[in-house]
Structures are given as structure tokens and as C-alpha cells.
Amino acid sequence: MRVEYINPFVTSLKNAFKTMLACEARRGEIALKENNCAKHYVSGVIGLSGRTVGTVVLSFSEAVALKAASTMLMTETTAINEDVLDAVGELTNMVAGAAKSELEEFELQVSLPNVVTGHNHEIHFPSNVVPISISFETDWGPLTLEVGFAPVPEPVCA
């Protein structure tokens, strides 16, 4: 994957945190994802399709998920519940949706978000995709953005 395909996701994550949560998300290390295990306890997952196929994952530490939901709902949330899962799904949707507008050449469709919880839960990317993992740090704790997609080959007409 080329950096110009990753940057829209990084930018949209930073913007979503700044505008929706009044929280700065500071980018950390970028690496190739080496396994299917999510980095943190709560993950929002969105599929991409169009002239490319792939997946976008926002993986939140429990602390970040709780604080983000509390901020969005304007009420203190102290346990992972349906409201927190909805907030994680909505943030994931905002990040993928904003990035989609920067990647018009792929004519992307974005699926509805799914949210997965639990320690060491697995998230599978399409088999021909090597995802990029980008760590972020906030004042609330860590989160990780994982993006992986590959162009769909053009049909060959005879």
C-alpha cells in the first residue's frame, strides 16, 4: 500500500478526535501488521469495496473507548456497554467516511461498522492484503488504526 492511501485515514482519525472529542490523537509508529490479533480491547471494523477491497480497524484501549463514549454522550460511562460500542462504531464510521472522500479514484463503498470486544480478539483482512498498523497516543490512552486494502483487478474482456 502506498502512503498516499494511508494518509487520508490518519488525517481523518486526527480530525475526528479533535473536532468530536476535543482530544489530540498523536501518531506513533507505523508498521506492517504481523498477525490477526487486535491491539486493544474494543475494535470498530469497516469493510471497503469498489475498485479496491479491504478493511479499516480502529482498536481502542478500554480507557479511550470509555472516555470517547463519555464525551460523545455527555455523561460519565464507566463500563463497556452498548453505548460505548455504538460510540466506537460511530467514530470508526466517521474516520472511514472522511477518508473515503479523499480516495475517490477507488469509487469506495463503506460497510456499516461492526464492533468487536475482548482481549486478543482476531480481525481478518482479505487474504491478498497486508495491513498497515499505526499507533496513536491520546491523553486518555492508546489506540491503533489498521488499514489494509488492495485494488481489484480490472476485468479482461475477450
CB atoms under 10 Å from CB of 155, counted, come to: 5
- For residue 84, being part of any structural domain is answered with yes
- For residue 158, being part of any structural domain is answered with no
Distance between CA 103 and CA 108 in Å, rounded? 8
Strand pairing class (132-138; 114-117) = unpaired
Quote the DSSP letter at residue 123.
-
pTM of structure: 0.89
Burial class (CB in 10 A: 0-12, 13-18, 19+), 113: buried
- For residue 144, being part of any structural domain is answered with yes
Closest CA to 124 of 62, 42, 57, 60: 57
Q: Helix, strand, or coil here: 44?
A: strand
pLDDT at 151 (0 to 100): 74
11-28 pLDDT per residue, tens? 999 999 999 999 999 999
Domain count along the chain? 1
Q: For residue 73, name the pLDDT band (cuts at 50, 70, 90).
A: very high
Range of the domain at 18: 3-150
* CATH number of domain containing 14: 3.40.1550.10
95-154 pLDDT per residue, tens? 988 888 877 777 778 888 999 999 999 998 888 888 999 999 999 999 999 998 877 776
C-alpha cell at 72: 460523545
